[in-house]
Amino acid sequence: MATASVAFKSREDHRKQIELEEARKAGLAPAELDEDGKEINPHIPQYMSSAPWYLNAERPSLKHQRKWKSDPNYTKSWYDRGAKIFQADKYRKGACENCGAMTHDSKSCMERPRRVGAKWTNKHIAPDEKIETFELDYDGKRDRWNGYDASTYARVIERYEARDEARKKYLKEQQLKKLEKSNQNGEDAASDGDEEEEEDEDEDDLRVDEAKVDESKQMDFAKVEKRVRTTGGGSTGTVRNLRIREDTAKYLLNLDVNSAHYDPKTRSMREDPLPDADPNEKFYLGDNQYRNSGQALEFKELNIHAWEAFDKGQDVHMQAAPSQAELLYKNFKVMKEKLKYQTKETIIEKYGNAADEDKLPRELLLGQSERQVEYDRAGRIIKGQEAALPRSKYEEDVYINNHTTVWGSWWKDHQWGYKCCKQTIRNSYCTGAAGIEAAEAASDLMKANIARKEAATDDPAPVEEKKLATWGTDVPDDLVLDEKLLAESLKKEEQRKREEKDERKRKYNVRWNDEVTAEDMEAYRMKKVHHDDPMKDFLH
């Protein structure tokens, strides 16, 4: 049998697998191991060692050939329908607000919603249901009669028997009334004969069903049987006839020699014997018509799909695993229809559907109705009834923390809030119009501060630029540096830095210059690397 693995195998892999199996049979290669680590006899046929595909076995084994042990945790019991465990006299905390049962809440209550629930009336408390949880085995999940009570059918039989008894009793009473009436009026013998005929008619009514059954048995032509000799020892057996004898034979439908060919050995006629006749009057269209319609065509498509899937590398075989092949074909059709539907929806969504001419009714487009409602200047109803809004079983229009609107009635800056006080905090207390004014004042103040800060940064105060020395602490305040000498000092300091980094550019004869000017000290300070500087690693 085919396994669940449908991995694609190339021709080279298939050849290597066959060579490995031949080597194992010859004893040149070690035997294959099963799930328990035991060796598998290589001479065991593959249809015995391979588990069925629906067991999802990863490797060959013989566990599926042995008796499976049932799990002791499984049970074959069923739910006790309608069973109650406790009947309360008053409402209990945590029970259903509608009926008063403890085994469910008001959202899951299956009783009719009461006008006033049991929580407030404290009357008609529903009993607690019996809650059961158990696990069924493989057979228990698929047993269609699991939990069926045979006594229910006995009640059906009793009801039908009671009906028949009542009918007989009614007929008998009618007969007795007719006899009493005839005796009181002193009718003659002719009238007595008429009453006997009426009684016979009533008895005939009782026998109508039996007569219909007998007639159906007589008209059952499908049970025509023929006795044939089955063995050479003289024993006979009964087989069902191939056709009804009242039907016209195929070769008698058209006696023309050039008409459809009839094979007497197989009793087959592939073509239509009467191609020009009215299709509504013909009951036979040829054997090819049966082969190309109905379940025969579906079986042919299933075979073609199995062949194509096998050619593309899937391990599927129609004769070896028909259930697997049918399941794969069913999944293939579902995926094909789903892909076709998605493609169609994508095209319609992108380009529209001009063929769809269905339009909404005028009542839905304009929202008009014949109901008349009159209002006064204050908005109160004077005449008529206001349209009732449909309400669900969930909580609606519940206001908390002194709010007059619900959460989510206001939206600003990608945040939900309350419309009454324009707050975006869920559990906040409502501040009303004062809170709105305070929030607007704070917003205006923040905008003014931002504008003032931007104005201050746009117009900086003028600062007198002076080239003063910044090195040391003993430098006089009025020391001014020469721009040209400072530029030359910076070039010298850069050259000295390069010589320190690259030893190849260092000169052998070092000359010391003890005359350090103020410009040299300023260049040294400007080129010096400060260890506390966070941008020192980015200096070149």
425-459 tens-digit pLDDT: 888 889 888 888 888 888 888 888 888 888 887 65
Q: Give dist(CA 32, CA 42) in Å, integer.
A: 8
Q: Looking at this protein, which amino acid is placed at residue 113?
A: P
- In this prediction, residue 121 carries a pLDDT of 93
Q: Which of 91-95, 186-190, 276-280, 467-471 has the lowest mean pLDDT?
A: 467-471
- % pLDDT > 70, the chain: 75
Q: Give dist(CA 84, CA 104) in Å, integer.
A: 13
> 361 Cβ partners below 8 Å, 6+ apart?
none
Q: Give dist(CA 14, CA 33) in Å, integer.
A: 20
Q: Give dist(CA 448, CA 454) in Å, integer.
A: 10
Q: DSSP states of 202-239 as a string?
A: HHHHHTHHHHHHHHHHHT-GGG-EEEEE-STTS-EEEE
Three-class secondary structure of residue 250 per DSSP: helix
Average pLDDT over residues 1-10: 57
374, β-bridge pairs: 383
Q: 150-209, pLDDT tens digit by residue?
A: 888 898 999 999 999 999 999 999 999 988 888 887 655 555 555 555 555 555 554 544
Q: Looking at this protein, which amino acid is placed at residue 481?
A: L
Helix ranges (DSSP H) in 280-415: 287-291, 295-311, 322-351, 362-366
Measured CA to CA in angstroms, residue 13 lies from 30, 49, 126, 128 at distances of 19, 20, 69, 65
Q: 119-139, pLDDT tens digit by residue?
A: 999 999 999 999 988 888 788
- In this prediction, residue 199 carries a pLDDT of 54
> 338 Cβ partners below 8 Å, 6+ apart?
none
Phi, psi of 130, deg, nearest 5: -90, 120
Phi, psi of 440, deg, nearest 5: -65, -40
The number of residues in the chain equals 540
Looking only at the bridges linking them, the beta strands covering 381-383 and 410-412 are unpaired
- In this prediction, residue 226 carries a pLDDT of 46
Phi, psi of 236, deg, nearest 5: -120, 155
pTM of the prediction? 0.24
Q: Give dist(CA 467, CA 471) in Å, integer.
A: 12
Q: Give dist(CA 129, CA 80) in Å, integer.
A: 10
Q: Is 147 left (phi over 0), alpha (psi -120 to 50) or beta?
A: left
Residue 446: its H or E element: helix 432-458
Contact criterion met (CB below 8 Å) for 11 and 311: no
Average pLDDT over residues 36-64: 82
Q: Looking at this protein, which amino acid is placed at residue 235?
A: S
More confident residue, 322 or 215: 322
Burial of 428 (0-12, 13-18, 19+ CB in 10 A): middle
Instruction: Count the helices and strands in the chain (H runs, E runs).
Output: 14, 8
Q: 207-246, pLDDT tens digit by residue?
A: 544 444 444 444 444 444 444 444 444 445 455 555 667 7
Contact criterion met (CB below 8 Å) for 251 and 274: no
- In this prediction, residue 192 carries a pLDDT of 52
Q: What is the mean pLDDT of the chain?
A: 79
Around 245, how many Cα atoms within 13 Å sit in the side-chain half-sphere? 8
What is the Cα Rg of the chain in Å? 50
Q: Which of 9-18, 225-234, 418-427, 487-496 has the lowest mean pLDDT?
A: 225-234
Average pLDDT over residues 399-422: 88
More confident residue, 341 or 136: 341
Longest Cα pair distance anywhere in the chain, in angstroms? Answer: 171
Domain definitions of the chain by residue range: 11-65, 297-351, 394-455, 483-538
In which band, very low, low, confident or very high, does the pLDDT at 533 lie, cut at 50, 70 and 90?
low
- In this prediction, residue 3 carries a pLDDT of 47
Q: Give dist(CA 412, CA 18) in Å, integer.
A: 72
Q: Which residue has the tokens 């939900």?
A: 416
